[in-house]
Amino acid sequence: MKRIAPKPRILNDTKPIFSFSPHRLTDRLTPLELLYGTSDLGIPEVEVADWKLDIAGLVNNPISLSFDDLKGLPKRSIETVFICSGNPHFPTQPSRKVANVRWAGADLAQLLEKAKVNERAIYLWSYGLDFGEKENYGEIPHYVKDMPLTRLQEGDILIAYELNGEPLAVKNGFPARLVIPGYYSTNSTKWLFRLELADRRADSYHTTVMYNDPNFDADPSGKVTKPVWAVAPQCIFASHKQKNEILNEPTELWGWAWSRCPVDWVEVSTDGGATWERAELEPAQRRAWQRFSYMWTPPKPGDYDVRCRTQDVNGETQPPNNARHSIQSILIAVTS
């Protein structure tokens, strides 16, 4: 891949100052200070006056938009689960860096209609202004991700410039970023400056070396891979944390469940997965996470291995372990 935009100034990477813990996620809408935040190549500082979004490649009518042009388009907003796929070097490690936030911006499908996508196009490449270098790879001129155009049929993809009702912060992709609800958030390119329609996958570091899982169903040796795109079903406890101590009294075990589509049910186990009971589950609201709740009366004091698992409306479930969406288990100590 070649550099196609001038280098912006890169601010020092501001790592989150808290250690991420799902039990803090007690709000339906995650406050911005609890967003996990990932910037693999540092944070570029972008001048709005110089910023442009180009829509190019396999289109019959290339478009170039200023920030004012973008904000002049009809504004759409969506509340959605936003989940990091975790450390790409360890794709089988459970990732519970999740949030539920409200984005606002312009509708991607509308923009692509204006650009008149050529029928040969199969993928949408998105370019971020951040750049860097990796050992054993070399220069990375831009953060680049791709998405199959088939995802457009499900709608809801935004070029977002607001997050939870506030202008996008620099670290979250100011002035604008792509947001693909139902896809792991690594695909939601920050500091977006170019969308390119293509007939093949992007050949960038973040689409080739990183973010391709071994597809053991297709090939047991793990050589065949599949891109980290659609979100898998998962649920977490927000009510209790690991090694929580509670009194020997009835307690509400509750949390959040989500997938690329609505989830159908959540079950809770208080005996390490030996038996499972249905939890109450609120109905799905478009792409937001769904609250589940289970009233538990501990039989006696002691240590309990408490778990939750979900199945989505496509029938997909969570594996017990060795997956980024494996079943969560927390130890709850019941005292007398």
Ligand X SMILES: Nc1nc2c(c(=O)[nH]1)N[C@H]1C(S)=C(S)[C@@H](COP(=O)(O)O)O[C@H]1N2
What is the contact surface with ligand X in residues (CB under 6 A)?
35-41, 84, 128, 130, 143, 171-172, 185-186, 188-191
The one of ligand X, Mo ion, none whose footprint includes residue 188, by CB under 5 to 8 A per kind, is ligand X
Stretch that binds Mo ion, among 38-46, 102-110, 136-144, 312-320 (CB under 5 A): 38-46
DSSP class of 317: B
Residue number, 32 or 246, with CB nearest to ligand X: 32
**Minimum separation from the CB atom of position 160 to Mo ion (A):** 16
**Minimum separation from the CB atom of position 189 to ligand X (A):** 5
Contact residues for 201 (Cβ-Cβ < 8 A; gap 6+): 123, 146, 207, 208, 227
What is the four-CA torsion angle of 128, 131, 133, 138, rounded to 10 degrees?
A: 70
Phi, psi at 229, each rounded to 5°: -115, -90
Evaluate the CA torsion angle 68, 70, 73, 75 in order and state its sign.
negative
Place of tokens 């312009």: 106
**CB-based closest residue to Mo ion:** 84
Q: Where are the beta strands (DSSP E) in 112-153?
A: 123-128, 132-134, 138-140, 143-148
Amino acid at 321: N
**CB-based closest residue to ligand X:** 128
The one of ligand X, Mo ion, none whose footprint includes residue 40, by CB under 5 to 8 A per kind, is ligand X
User: By CB under 5 A, what part of segment 215-254 binds Mo ion?
Assistant: none
Binding mask 166-195 for Mo ion (x = CB under 5 A): --------------------x---------
The one of ligand X, Mo ion, none whose footprint includes residue 41, by CB under 5 to 8 A per kind, is ligand X
**Minimum separation from the CB atom of position 103 to ligand X (A):** 10
The one of ligand X, Mo ion, none whose footprint includes residue 128, by CB under 5 to 8 A per kind, is ligand X
Place of tokens 């009702």: 165
CB atoms within 10 A of CB 324: 23
Residue number, 135 or 245, with CB nearest to ligand X: 135
**Minimum separation from the CB atom of position 287 to ligand X (A):** 16
Residue number, 180 or 281, with CB nearest to ligand X: 180
Residue number, 38 or 208, with CB nearest to Mo ion: 38
**211 contacts 228 by C-beta, under 8 angstroms:** yes
Residue number, 85 or 239, with CB nearest to Mo ion: 85
**Minimum separation from the CB atom of position 97 to Mo ion (A):** 7
**Minimum separation from the CB atom of position 171 to ligand X (A):** 6
Q: Mark residue 222 as left, alpha or beta (left: phi above 0; alpha: psi -120 to 50; beta: remaining).
A: left
Residue number, 76 or 142, with CB nearest to Mo ion: 142
Evaluate the CA torsion angle 274, 280, 286, 289 in order and state its sign.
negative
User: By CB under 5 A, what part of segment 74-103 binds Mo ion?
Assistant: 84
Q: What share of the chain is helix, strand, coil (3-state, %, to 5)?
A: 10, 40, 50
- Which of 227, 206, 226, 230 is CA-nearest to residue 216? 226
**Minimum separation from the CB atom of position 300 to ligand X (A):** 42
Residue number, 34 or 331, with CB nearest to ligand X: 34
**In which element (H, E) is residue 71 found?**
helix 67-72
**From residue 57, how far is each of 4, 119, 192, 210 by CA, in Å?**
13, 12, 16, 24
Residue number, 307 or 324, with CB nearest to ligand X: 324
Grouping H, G, I as helix, E, B as strand and the rest as coil, residue 320 is coil
The one of Mo ion, ligand X, none whose footprint includes residue 175, by CB under 5 to 8 A per kind, is none
The one of ligand X, Mo ion, none whose footprint includes residue 204, by CB under 5 to 8 A per kind, is none
CA distance linking residue 38 with residue 282, whole number of Å: 30
Interface positions with Mo ion (CB under 5 A): 38, 84, 186
